[in-house]
Amino acid sequence: MAREMGHAVPLTADEEAFLRAFLRALVTVPRALDGDLMTSHGVSLTDYVGLMHLSEAPGHTLRIGDLANMCALSLSGTTRIVSRLEEQGLLRREQSASDARGWEAVLTGSGLAHLRRAWPSHLASVRRHIIDQLDDVDLPPITAAVSGFAGGSPQDGPQA
């Protein structure tokens, strides 16, 4: 790995090809997953990821700030998502029992049912747009590398 202070080290042809493919994938894959979810279930990828994290949390409850971190979103962006999902009856917002200043998002029964209905379509979309493209690829090193891009590690769990 070439690193020099104050001197730009040009990318090799393979590094440049990877960078360009990766940047394209950063835009096109989320759009494809989002489009498939919107078409089949009327829920965005961002909303789906928020519901997913809530479904995995103890008591289907997360502080809104923790949900923002898990979704890699700003607190204000997460608040907008929570408000939208709350209007749809997919979650409710409650004041934190442990901190009167904090708020929690709580997945409702309707939200869990909606997530369960969307899951098979989302799984098929993920397989079509991502997993099926990884034939004969050793996934653990790729997972470690991509997790490193996001400042985490594979042990941190899924990053949205």
Q: Which of the 8 DSSP states describes residue 5?
A: T
* Cα 59 from Cα 95, distance rounded (Å): 15
Least confident of 11-20, 105-114, 139-148: 139-148
Q: Is the pLDDT of residue 31 over 80?
A: yes
The stretch 142-159 carries a mean pLDDT of: 70
pLDDT at residue 131 in the model: 94
User: Model confidence over 134-145: pLDDT tens digits?
Assistant: 988 999 999 998
pLDDT at residue 160 in the model: 40
Phi/psi region, residue 10 (left: phi>0; alpha: psi -120 to 50; beta: rest), is: beta
pLDDT at residue 157 in the model: 47
Q: Which of the 8 DSSP states describes residue 12?
A: P
Percent of the chain with pLDDT over 90: 78
* Cα 18 from Cα 95, distance rounded (Å): 46
User: Model confidence over 58-100: pLDDT tens digits?
Assistant: 999 999 999 999 999 999 999 999 999 999 999 999 998 888 7
Q: Identify the residue with better confidence: 25 or 149.
A: 25
Identify whether the C-beta of residue 145 lies closer than 8 Å to the C-beta of residue 88.
no
- The pTM (predicted TM-score) of the whole model is 0.83
Per-residue CA distances from 91 to 102, 156, 160 (Å): 16, 25, 19
pLDDT at residue 138 in the model: 92
* Cα 79 from Cα 105, distance rounded (Å): 10
The stretch 101-107 carries a mean pLDDT of: 93
